[in-house]
């Protein structure tokens, strides 16, 4: 399936795509009209539809074989971009969360410069990759954070269901977004929990870039969340038996 054909399968009405839909639909239309993904993303910035992310998007051919991907982005301020869903969503995340993406890229490049690419990424680079590919950010009242950390699924999504009106789950991982084009119950995000009320975070990107630290990330401060369990994200979860599937909604491991 070509990039343009794949983009045509996206349902922008899905709740996880709502924050990205305005720019995403515009870029998708350009690709479907014949533009490359890189050109479509650059056009959003050039026309003032999106703020300047501090990088440009380029063809994958711009990446030299002897240079690591993250090092190349840091040195050249260019993001190699293929014409597929994976890189399309990566570009959209760059446009919506540029400060966070730049911070993650900086740490990746510094780690590669210090230790080389290697067969094993190391704890920091591994955690950055998890967040970048499969992460989500939860801004919510403390009770929801506590239930998620304890993997108390019934409490999180049934007993405390009204509290989700005061919460936001923002998908950051571009591989996660790609998987959610064809949603299934088992798709699980690695959630970074923001101990802040929604109303105190005026700019999520700036807040997250400031809140993240290399030390905190290296400890992998993530909790798993099957995203279709989020209230309002899937009609089937209105039936509370949805959360009885222990193959998806797993209990916390016993130490």
Domain assignment present for 102 = no
Do 146 and 236 reside in the same domain of the chain? yes
Last residue of a domain, one of 52, 69, 96: 96
Asked if pLDDT for residue 255 goes beyond 70, the answer is no
Number of domains in the chain: 2
Do 83 and 188 reside in the same domain of the chain? no
Cβ–Cβ contacts within 10 Å for residue 118, how many?
Answer: 10
Do 165 and 232 reside in the same domain of the chain? yes
Domain assignment present for 34 = yes
| Tens digit of each residue's pLDDT (9 = 90 or more) over 12-66 | 999 999 999 999 999 999 999 999 999 999 999 999 999 999 999 999 999 988 8
Do 140 and 222 reside in the same domain of the chain? yes
Average pLDDT of the residues of the chain:
93
Domain assignment present for 110 = no
Considering only CA atoms, give the Rg of the chain. Answer: 19
Do 87 and 135 reside in the same domain of the chain? no
Do 82 and 135 reside in the same domain of the chain? no
Do 135 and 226 reside in the same domain of the chain? yes
- Domain range spanning residue 169? 131-244
Q: How many residues are given for the chain?
A: 255
Domain assignment present for 176 = yes
Integer Cα distance of 151 and 254 in angstroms: 12
Last residue of a domain, one of 75, 96, 117: 96
| Tens digit of each residue's pLDDT (9 = 90 or more) over 175-228 | 999 999 999 999 999 999 987 666 666 689 999 999 999 999 999 999 999 999
Asked if pLDDT for residue 117 goes beyond 80, the answer is no
Domain assignment present for 114 = no
- Between these two residues, 130 and 113, which has the higher pLDDT value? 130
Q: What is the pLDDT, as a whole number, of residue 95?
A: 97
Do 158 and 216 reside in the same domain of the chain? yes
SS3 per-residue string spanning 4-57: HHHHCCCCCCCHHHHHHHHHHHHHHHHHHCCCCHHHHHHHHHHCCCCCCCCCEE
Domain assignment present for 35 = yes
Do 21 and 92 reside in the same domain of the chain? yes
Domain assignment present for 151 = yes
The answer to whether the CB of 178 falls within 8 A of the CB of 85 is yes
**DSSP-derived secondary structure letter, 180:** T
Domain assignment present for 210 = yes
Do 89 and 156 reside in the same domain of the chain? no
Do 227 and 169 reside in the same domain of the chain? yes
Integer Cα distance of 151 and 146 in angstroms: 9
Do 240 and 141 reside in the same domain of the chain? yes
Last residue of a domain, one of 37, 69, 96: 96
């Amino acid at each position: 399936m070509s990039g343009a054909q794949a983009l045509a399968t996206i349902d922008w009405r899905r709740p996880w795509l709502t924050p990205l839909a305005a720019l995403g639909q515009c870029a998708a239309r350009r690709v479907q009209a014949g533009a490359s993904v890189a050109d479509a993303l650059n056009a959003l910035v050039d026309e003032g539809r999106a703020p300047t992310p501090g990088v440009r998007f380029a063809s994958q051919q711009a990446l030299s074989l002897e240079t690591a991907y993250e090092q190349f982005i840091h040195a050249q301020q260019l993001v190699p971009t293929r014409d597929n869903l994976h890189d399309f969503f990566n570009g959209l995340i760059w446009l919506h969360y540029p400060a966070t993406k730049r911070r993650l890229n900086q740490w990746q490049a510094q780690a590669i410069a210090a230790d080389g690419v290697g067969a094993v990424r190391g704890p920091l680079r591994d955690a950055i990759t998890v967040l970048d590919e499969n992460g989500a950010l939860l801004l919510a009242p403390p009770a929801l954070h506590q239930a998620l950390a304890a993997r108390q699924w019934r409490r999180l999504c049934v007993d405390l269901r009204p509290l989700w009106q005061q919460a936001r789950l923002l998908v950051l991982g571009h591989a996660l977004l790609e998987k959610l084009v064809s949603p299934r119950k088992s798709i699980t995000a690695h959630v970074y929990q923001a101990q802040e009320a929604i109303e105190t975070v005026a700019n999520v990107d700036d807040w997250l870039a400031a809140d993240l630290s290399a030390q905190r990330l290296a400890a992998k401060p993530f909790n798993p969340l099957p995203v279709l369990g989020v209230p309002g994200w899937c009609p089937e979860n209105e039936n509370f038996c949805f959360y009885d599937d222990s193959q998806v909604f797993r209990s916390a491991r016993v130490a």
